[in-house]
Copies of this chain bind each other. A is one copy, B any other.
Amino acid sequence: MTRPVRLADVAREAGVSHGTASNVFSRPEIVRDEVRERVFAAASKLGYAGPDPKGRLLRAGKVNAIGVATAEPLSYFFDDPFARTVMSGISQECDATGAGISLVSAANKEQLAWNIQSALVDGFIVFCVEGGSRLVELTRERKLPFVTLDFAEHDDTVATIGVDDVAGAGMAARHLAELGHRRFAVLALPTIETGYGPTTLERAQNAIYSGTRDRIRGYFEVLATHGIDVKAVPIYETENDEASTRAGMEHLFASPEPPTAILAMSDRMAMAALDWLRERGIEVPGEVSVIGFDGVPESAVSTPPLTTIAQPIVEIGRRAVQTILGFDGTIRRETLDVELIVRGSTAPPPSGS
């Protein structure tokens, strides 16, 4: 491979200064036609690829791209329905402003640090699904504007966009309780770094992820006001994927008194639960009701369509980009409203129970 052609080479070939050569490419209107032609001719003779963005970048300072970071593998952005929908909102806003998107992630921790440190971006949007605070620290060190999504640790030095998880979970529980359900079960998001299985209310209340904690709190506060024996409600902690959710359903329905109402902390779990129930021939919503959380697009077309607590997911993505691009030095914590969307997966419990 031969050494690539630089602007200086073109300038020399055309017999002009590098300043003029630069102008030919970046502000063609200020150079004389004849000179411009000569420079273009030299450029194409030498096979010049155009001003190298690497050089331009250093001078310009702005990358014109925003980074989206997560501690999950990169494919998370394309596989997870929630992430995908947020990304869709981020994309819309980036398209509108002409900014690019850089996806940043890493399989292992050292990689993560390096990737965050060397990402060429003007700011970060941080997905706080797992390993949240480590990622946040790393990002903070870059001293670039950044927003976290759903990072509700009450830390006023980090900007966050999220929803009121407590209220949303409360709406879910209230909906089912008012339908007459008395036997509940919770399919919970991760409470600790790894692993899944049945857990206790106390452990769930101390989950390291604030979203998990808040949703638990929302569910149980409302359940308690409806006179449900809160300590008897089984909680199964999953990894928010198909396999662990199925294991959870297996466990919950092995009980002598299986639940008639499932509170799932994500639509992904809720939809996996729906699949499991359908395979077992258990009627939804006839025998068991299921309510999700998130309001991902897929939830509208599941069978049956999922009743869920909808977040304004696309809007979250758009605002995140706006926050980065219009960063003015102030840290804001935005909380958006959620909405109960009643579809076909919830109904009163079977009369016998």
Interface residues of A (CB under 8 A from B): 1, 4, 47, 49-51, 53-58, 61, 63-65, 73-75, 77-79, 84-85, 87-88, 91-92, 94-96, 98, 100-107, 111, 114-115, 117-120, 141-143, 303, 329
CB A95 to nearest CB in B, in angstroms, measures 5
Cα(A92)–Cα(B50), bound, Å: 32
A-B contact pairs, 27 of them (CB 8 A): A4-B143, A49-B142, A49-B143, A50-B117, A50-B141, A53-B117, A53-B119, A54-B57, A54-B58, A54-B120, A57-B57, A57-B58, A63-B120, A64-B118, A73-B91, A74-B91, A78-B78, A78-B84, A78-B85, A78-B87, A78-B88, A78-B91, A95-B106, A98-B114, A100-B102, A101-B102, A102-B102
Of listed A58, A74, A115, A119, residue having the most chain B CB within 10 A: A74
- 20 new A-B contacts, CB < 8 A, other than A100-B104, A103-B103, are A4-B143, A49-B141, A49-B142, A49-B143, A50-B141, A50-B142, A54-B57, A54-B120, A57-B57, A57-B58, A63-B120, A73-B91, A73-B92, A74-B91, A74-B92, A75-B88, A78-B85, A96-B107, A101-B102, A303-B303
| Complex Cα spacing A101 to B75, Å | 11
> In the complex, are the beta carbons of A75 and B92 less than 8 A apart?
yes
How far apart sit A18 and B103, CA to CA, in the bound complex (Å)? Answer: 32
> In the complex, A268 Cα to B116 Cα: how many Å?
36
Complex contact A95–B74 (CB within 8 A):
yes
CA distance A56 to B87 in the complex (A): 29
Are A56 and B95 touching (Cβ within 8 A)? no
Which residues from chain B contact A107 at a C-beta distance below 8 Å?
Answer: 95-96
| Bound-complex Cα distance A64 to B53 (A) | 14
Q: Is the CB of A98 within 8 A of B115?
A: yes
A102 to B64, CA, bound (A): 12
State the copy count for this chain. 2
Chain B residues with CB under 8 A of A58 = 54-55, 57-58
* Cα distance, A119 to B49, chains bound together (Å): 13
Q: Is the Cβ of B119 less than 8 Å from the Cβ of A98?
A: no
Give 7 nearest A-B pairs by CB, closest first: A74-B91, A75-B91, A49-B143, A101-B103, A53-B118, A78-B87, A78-B88
B-side contacts of A100, CB under 8 Å: 102-104, 115, 119
B75 touches A95 (CB 8 A): yes
- Complex contacts, A88 vs chain B, CB 8 Å: 75, 78-79
CB distance from A258 to the nearest CB of B (A): 25
Q: How far is the CA of A51 from the CA of B141 in the complex (A)?
A: 11
A335 CB to closest chain B CB (Å) equals: 24
User: A144 — nearest CB in chain B belongs to which residue?
Assistant: B49
Q: How far apart are A40's CB and chain B's nearest CB, in angstroms?
A: 13
Which residues of chain B are within 8 angstroms of A77 by Cβ–Cβ distance? 78, 87, 91
Could you say which of A73, A75, A91 has the most chain B C-beta atoms within 10 Å of its C-beta? A75
